[in-house]
Amino acid sequence: MNKKELAITAVFSAAAVIFEALPIKLPFPLLSYLTFDIAEIPVFFLLFYNGPKSALVGAVLLALVLLGLGSFVPIGPAFKFLAVASSILGAAPLFKKSIAGSFALSTLSRILVMGFANYALIEFYMPGFLSYVGDFIGLNPIESVMVLTAIFNIIQNGFSFFVAYALYTKIKSRTG
């Protein structure tokens, strides 16, 4: 990274950390432990402005700060990193060629990674959790969690991706 990319990475990573620390979170009504937030927007901005390496640095810094904030440590920070990093890595191959394709790959990557991570967490570390989740549209509890988690990830990823892209296009149009 050159000095300009490093400076932009530092500023937007700091913004992601600040956004994560703010109490601006909206619980997903169907699984209240999942919360929508705005912390991923600066990381996606880094993808569009500087590229995948910069965005992954932002994802790592965000996860490290979350470890210090004490939010369901170490699972919360690890899952946040997995969600953001999988979204960035999924978007990376197409982000300069096709925004729609980039979004689709980003979302698919996030759904697959987080589905596996949630399944492993529930199955091996929190099996009693499933009594909290009832049947959802005729699915058993683990299937319900997977479907609801996928829905959450589609919404969160879409919001973060497209807000960041709108911000990027606005800034790029003014700075050239």
pLDDT digits (tens, 9 = 90+) for 99-123: 999 999 999 999 999 999 999 998 8
Q: Give the pLDDT of residue 127.
A: 74
Question: pTM of the prediction?
Answer: 0.93
Q: Give the pLDDT of residue 143.
A: 87
Dist. CA 60–CA 66, nearest whole Å: 10
CATH number of the CATH domain containing 45: 1.10.1760.20
Dist. CA 54–CA 104, nearest whole Å: 21
DSSP 8-state secondary structure symbol assigned to residue 31: S
56 pLDDT above the threshold of 80? yes
**CA neighbor of 109 nearest in space, from 47, 42, 171, 28:** 47
Dist. CA 121–CA 30, nearest whole Å: 18
Segments forming the whole domain that contains residue 156: 3-25+33-175
Q: Provide the Cα torsion 26, 156, 34, 112; round to 10°.
A: 180
Q: Indicate the number of domains in the chain.
A: 1
Q: Give the pLDDT of residue 52.
A: 97
